[in-house]
């Protein structure tokens, strides 16, 4: 069965500093991978996705993520964070085989930004 691990429950970063959020997945083949962001009291918004091709994907709000098959990872990065990036971030994996509709989500990483 597929699974997702986000090892960091909570990360604190200074405004303007770089950010990397970790995501590791378990799946028997190349999965579909997603990062979502959730602001307090809101639903989840898709930041970016990886299906195939270039392993470095660009998303909205200046975020990018890199798929590394050898490490089963899909880490999210941003070169310079803004106070508005404070939120909870979820990594998700969806199987690429035809016939399975489900996404599996990690437990999330809460990002705090300090001035």
Site string for other proteins, 51-90 (x = CB under 8 A): ---------------------------------------x
What is the chain's Cα-based Rg? Answer: 14
- Asked if 18 interacts with other proteins (CB under 8 A), we say no
One of 42, 55, 80, 112 touching other proteins (CB under 8 A) = 42
Residue 50, Ramachandran bin (φ over 0: left; ψ between -120 and 50: alpha; else beta): beta
Maximum Cα–Cα distance across the chain: 47
Locus of tokens 């091709």: 53
Partner residues linked to 12 by β-bridges: 112
Select 33 or 81, whichever has its Cβ closest to other proteins: 33
- Asked if 25 interacts with other proteins (CB under 8 A), we say no
- The site for other proteins, by CB under 8 A, has a size of 25
Residues 6+ apart with CB under 8 A from 104: 2, 3, 4, 92, 93, 94
One of 8, 49, 64, 73 touching other proteins (CB under 8 A) = 49
Residues that bind other proteins (CB under 8 A): 32, 34, 36, 41-46, 49, 90, 94-103, 105-108
């Amino acid at each position: 069965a597929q699974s997702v691990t986000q090892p960091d429950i909570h990360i604190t970063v200074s405004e303007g500093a770089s950010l990397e959020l970790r995501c590791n997945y378990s799946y028997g083949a190349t999965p579909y991978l997603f990062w979502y962001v959730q602001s307090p009291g809101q639903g989840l918004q898709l930041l970016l996705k990886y299906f195939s091709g270039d392993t470095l994907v660009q998303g909205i709000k200046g975020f990018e993520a890199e798929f590394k098959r050898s490490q089963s990872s899909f880490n999210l990065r941003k070169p310079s964070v803004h106070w508005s990036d404070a939120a909870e971030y979820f990594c998700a994996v969806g199987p690429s085989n035809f016939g399975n509709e489900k996404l599996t989500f990690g437990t999330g990483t809460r990002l705090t930004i300090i001035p």
